[in-house]
């Protein structure tokens, strides 16, 4: 008889959910919950960027551009429904559809950007994706219908802990399942040696465009959740510096390790918050000319240290046991 | 016997340098065909032209009766031309097994969605392809290395892994770029036997480039000799070995290399 494999990913997610619910009863305040939510949003962004940068090895620097598309599209939809009828509970199915719509829009933008740019390699691709990320942001900055430089305001707070966790779980599971399939192996082969991949019959360009679209889709969903967590979609939230922040998570965790991206998303989101409050406190007591935003300096330093002392990041390309699907004959 | 590969009037320039000049040749189906010549005589360029890495400046390449001139590399592979590389190009961080599996499943039947949902059809495909890849590793004496990271294999085994990977694409024509490079005499002997066996077992035509004279003379049924982008001799090994132009190219008149 076949014994079904324990869905460890689901177990861990459920465990995390339960722990947070319990902690809520004993003084886990809204600020801590916000950090947990933000971490999960970054899990979605980092894992989806890792699919592009780590699994198939294309250096993209415009991930927040895709998140912006998702945020603005889903935000516009939900704001509209919310205006028509402000009964929040009734809107969850609509919210989920809006998030998916945001993801699909981001994926379409990903394909549109991917076709011309994915012929480029390494540094060139990085510069072009960086440029496109900024272009997307600037476009939103100039569309009055979504608030222009004021941002899209009044987005309903639909991103609850449970919803974000569910989407983070789906993102990780989907990308893990793809990575551990024939398609995923083909992607890794492209990363390892593109010419050789081409010469064993792999349609390298086709895969790159698909992965770009898929990564953009999840970034779009992440961006949508982000907007419905902060209740605003603002051009500055999706600036280049935040794309770099997600990139640092991927590199700190280990390029190609989804486990690493998840861990780094949590660690660095928490670190950011700690640093922000520490720096604000330092400014208050010492009168030094520093602000909360100086945490970016620490980020930059961290990136330099990773590149100097631990290029492979926390995990390298290794995965935690629960992220690995054993082959049938190895059970 | 009919020709599996037919090249006519093929030339290729790199800027002002004519790397390949007006090549005409036919590789008979089922043969082991050798391409030899001193360094820089256009051998690897010929392979790169056949496999679509470069587009020939002039001329036509026909494979199994169809025109493949200037087609994309992966499409040429899918038509049945596979190759190995002179400077190994393995997927280093992948397992030996996965190196072969990738070539076995360059276009998985299961869609991305089916793979994500782990549908039974996906599992069946994975199982079957894995078994096929393992069988190939067995033929190339690499079965006990299946789970190792490819980059940890010694040189000779990597050369065999490249052959296994090329065979996994189910080619009709197998191009081997200096398969014996860097091997000791014993390994060269084994490789000769292996290539002959592969030809018979997989019903492929073998087209190889090699410097190792004993290897070429002992294994190939037909040989083409190049020098400075031009054909200087073609025919059976015994005849080619006695050709004065070949001797000159290899031994030199002025006591060259």
The alpha carbon of residue B26 and the mean position of all alpha carbons in its chain are separated, in whole angstroms, by 16
| Residue B255 pLDDT | 47
User: Is pLDDT at B256 greater than 60 in this prediction?
Assistant: no
Percent of chain A whose predicted confidence (pLDDT) is above 70? 95
- Inform me whether the C-beta atom of residue B147 falls under 8 Å from chain A C-beta atoms: no
User: Is pLDDT at A2 greater than 60 in this prediction?
Assistant: no
Confidence of residue A329 (pLDDT cuts 50, 70, 90): low
- What CA–CA distance (Å, rounded) separates B8 from B22? 8
What is the chain B residue with the closest CA to A190?
B91
Contact predicate A231/A157, CB 8 Å: yes
| Cβ within 8 Å of B, A 283-322 | 317
Confidence of residue A88 (pLDDT cuts 50, 70, 90): low
Q: Which residues pair with B36 in a beta bridge?
A: B225
Of B53, B74, B94, the CB nearest to A203: B74
**Token pair listed for A195:** 């010419």
- What CA–CA distance (Å, rounded) separates A69 from A221? 9
- Inform me whether the C-beta atom of residue B129 falls under 8 Å from chain A C-beta atoms: yes
- What CA–CA distance (Å, rounded) separates B228 from B137? 38
Confidence of residue B49 (pLDDT cuts 50, 70, 90): very high
**Token pair listed for A231:** 């209740």
Distance from the Cα of B113 to chain A's closest Cα (Å) equals: 9
**Token pair listed for A274:** 């700690």
- Inform me whether the C-beta atom of residue B98 falls under 8 Å from chain A C-beta atoms: yes
- Inform me whether the C-beta atom of residue B169 falls under 8 Å from chain A C-beta atoms: yes
- Inform me whether the C-beta atom of residue A4 falls under 8 Å from chain B C-beta atoms: no
Quickly tell me which residue has 């592979």 as its tokens: B77
- Residues from chain B that touch A188, judged by Cβ atoms under 8 A, are 91, 93-94, 98
Higher-pLDDT residue of A329 and B18 is B18
* Sign of the CA dihedral with A293 first, then A294, A298, and A299 last: positive
- Inform me whether the C-beta atom of residue B115 falls under 8 Å from chain A C-beta atoms: yes
What is the pLDDT of chain B when averaged over all its residues? 91
Tell me the CA distances in angstroms from A269 to A38, A39, A243, A262, A294, one per residue in order: 7, 6, 14, 11, 15
Mutate to test the interface with A, among B82, B88, B89 (most CBs of A within 10 A): B89
**Token pair listed for A91:** 């809107």
- What CA–CA distance (Å, rounded) separates B218 from A210? 48
- Inform me whether the C-beta atom of residue A51 falls under 8 Å from chain B C-beta atoms: no
User: Is pLDDT at A90 greater than 80 in this prediction?
Assistant: no
Q: Residues A69-78: pLDDT tens digits?
A: 999 999 999 9
- Inform me whether the C-beta atom of residue B135 falls under 8 Å from chain A C-beta atoms: no
What is the pLDDT of chain A when averaged over all its residues? 89
- Inform me whether the C-beta atom of residue B166 falls under 8 Å from chain A C-beta atoms: yes
- Kindly write down the DSSP assignment for every residue of A212-246, as one continuous string: HHHHHHHHHHHHHHHHHHHT-B-GGGGSHHHHHHH
Yes or no, beta carbons of B90 and A177 under 8 Å apart: no
Q: Which residues pair with B224 in a beta bridge?
A: B35, B234
Yes or no, beta carbons of A181 and B122 under 8 Å apart: yes
DSSP 8-state assignment for residue A5: P
| Cβ within 8 Å of A, B 23-82 | 51, 53, 72-74, 77-78, 82
- The residues, ordered by sequence, that sit 6+ positions from A75 with a Cβ below 8 Å of its Cβ are A102, A146, A152, A155, A224, A227, A228, A233
Mutate to test the interface with B, among A55, A182, A256 (most CBs of B within 10 A): A182
- Inform me whether the C-beta atom of residue A202 falls under 8 Å from chain B C-beta atoms: yes
User: Is pLDDT at B254 greater than 70 in this prediction?
Assistant: no
- Kindly write down the DSSP assignment for every residue of chain B, as one continuous string: --EEEEEEEEEEEETTEEEEEEEEEEEETT-EEEEE-STTSSHHHHHHHHTTSS--SEEEEEETTEE-TT--HHHHHHHTEEE--SS----TTSBHHHHHHHHHTSS-SS-HHHHHTT-HHHHHHHHHHHHHHHHHHHHTT-GGGTTSBGGGS-HHHHHHHHHHHHHHT--SEEEEESTTTT--HHHHHHHHHHHHHHHHHHT-EEEEE-S-HHHHHHH-SEEEEEETTEEEEEE-HHHHHH-HHHHHHHH-SS---
Percent of chain A whose predicted confidence (pLDDT) is above 90? 62
Q: Compute the average pLDDT of residues A114-127.
A: 84
- Residues from chain A that touch B77, judged by Cβ atoms under 8 A, are 198-201
Of A192, A193, A200, the CB nearest to B169: A200
Of B78, B94, B116, the CB nearest to A189: B94
Angle between helix axes A295-309 and A258-286 (nearest 10 degrees) is 140
Q: Residues B185-225: pLDDT tens digits?
A: 898 999 999 999 999 999 999 999 988 888 898 999 999 88
Confidence of residue A331 (pLDDT cuts 50, 70, 90): very low
Q: Comparing C-alpha atoms, which of B66, B72, B25, B33 is closest to residue B51?
A: B72
Q: Compute the average pLDDT of residues B228-235.
A: 83
Yes or no, beta carbons of A188 and B94 under 8 Å apart: yes
Yes or no, beta carbons of A189 and B91 under 8 Å apart: yes
User: Is pLDDT at B132 greater than 70 in this prediction?
Assistant: yes
Distance from the Cα of A194 to chain B's closest Cα (Å) equals: 9
| Residue A118 pLDDT | 81
- Inform me whether the C-beta atom of residue A203 falls under 8 Å from chain B C-beta atoms: yes
Q: What is the CA radius of gyration of chain B?
A: 19
User: Is pLDDT at A298 greater than 90 in this prediction?
Assistant: no
| Residue B257 pLDDT | 46
User: Is pLDDT at A190 greater than 80 in this prediction?
Assistant: yes
Q: Residues B137-173: pLDDT tens digits?
A: 999 999 999 999 999 999 989 999 999 999 999 999 9
Yes or no, beta carbons of B103 and A327 under 8 Å apart: no
Higher-pLDDT residue of A316 and A167 is A167
Yes or no, beta carbons of B93 and A188 under 8 Å apart: yes
Domain ranges for chain A: 5-239
- Inform me whether the C-beta atom of residue A181 falls under 8 Å from chain B C-beta atoms: yes
| Burial tier of A32 (Cβ tally within 10 Å: 0-12, 13-18, 19+) | middle
- The residues, ordered by sequence, that sit 6+ positions from A19 with a Cβ below 8 Å of its Cβ are none
């Amino acid at each position: 008889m076949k014994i079904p494999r324990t869905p460890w990913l689901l177990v861990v997610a459920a465990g995390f959910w339960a722990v947070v619910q319990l902690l809520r009863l004993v003084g886990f305040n809204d600020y801590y919950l916000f950090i947990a939510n933000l971490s999960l949003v970054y899990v979605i962004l980092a894992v989806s960027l890792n699919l592009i940068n780590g699994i198939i090895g294309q250096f993209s620097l415009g991930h927040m551009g895709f998140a912006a598309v998702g945020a603005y599209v889903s935000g516009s939809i939900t704001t509209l429904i919310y205006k028509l009828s402000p009964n929040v509970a009734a809107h969850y199915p609509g919210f989920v559809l809006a998030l998916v719509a945001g993801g699909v829009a981001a994926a379409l933008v990903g394909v549109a950007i991917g076709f011309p740019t994915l012929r480029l390699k390494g540094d060139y691709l990085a510069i072009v994706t960086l440029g496109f990320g900024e272009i997307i942001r600037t476009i939103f900055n100039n569309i009055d219908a979504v608030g222009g430089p004021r941002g899209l305001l009044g987005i309903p707070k639909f991103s609850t802990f449970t919803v974000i966790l569910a989407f983070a779980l789906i993102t990780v599971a989907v990308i893990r399942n793809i990575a551990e399939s024939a398609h995923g192996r083909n992607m890794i082969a492209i990363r390892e040696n593109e010419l050789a991949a081409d010469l064993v019959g792999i349609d390298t360009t086709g895969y790159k465009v698909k992965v770009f679209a898929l990564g953009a889709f999840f970034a779009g969903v992440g961006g949508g959740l982000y907007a419905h967590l902060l209740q605003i979609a603002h051009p500055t939230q999706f600036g280049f510096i935040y794309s770099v922040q997600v990139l640092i998570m991927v590199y700190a965790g280990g390029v190609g390790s989804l486990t690493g991206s998840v861990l780094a998303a949590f660690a660095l989101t928490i670190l950011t918050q700690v640093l922000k409050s520490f720096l604000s406190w330092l400014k208050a007591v010492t009168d030094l000319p520093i602000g909360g935003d100086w945490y970016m300096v620490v980020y930059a330093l961290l990136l330099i240290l990773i590149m100097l002392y631990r290029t492979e990041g926390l995990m390298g390309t290794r995965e935690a046991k629960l992220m690995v699907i054993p082959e049938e004959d190895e059970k | 016997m009919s020709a599996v590969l037919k090249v006519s009037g093929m030339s290729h320039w790199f800027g002002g340098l004519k790397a390949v000049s007006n090549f005409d040749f036919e590789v008979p189906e089922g043969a082991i065909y050798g391409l030899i010549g001193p360094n820089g005589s256009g051998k690897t360029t010929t392979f790169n032209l056949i496999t679509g890495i470069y587009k020939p400046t002039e001329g036509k390449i026909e494979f199994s009766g169809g025109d493949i001139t200037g087609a994309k590399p992966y499409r040429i592979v899918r038509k049945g031309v596979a190759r190995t590389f002179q400077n190994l190009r393995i997927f280093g961080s992948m397992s030996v097994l996965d190196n072969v599996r990738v070539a076995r499943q360059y276009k998985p039947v299961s869609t991305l969605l089916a793979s994500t949902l782990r549908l039974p059809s996906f599992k069946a495909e994975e199982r079957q392809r894995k078994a096929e890849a393992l069988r190939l590793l067995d033929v190339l004496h690499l079965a006990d290395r299946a789970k190792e990271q490819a980059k940890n294999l010694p040189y000779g085994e990597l050369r065999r892994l490249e052959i296994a990977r090329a065979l996994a694409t189910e080619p009709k024509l197998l191009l081997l770029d200096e398969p014996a490079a860097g091997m000791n005499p014993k390994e060269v002997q084994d490789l000769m036997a292996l290539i002959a066996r592969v030809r018979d077992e997989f019903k492929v035509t073998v087209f190889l480039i090699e410097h190792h004279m004993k290897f070429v003379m002992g294994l190939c049924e037909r040989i083409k000799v190049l020098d400075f982008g031009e054909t200087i001799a073609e025919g059976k090994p015994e005849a080619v070995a006695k050709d004065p132009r070949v001797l000159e190219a290899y031994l030199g008149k002025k006591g060259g290399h």
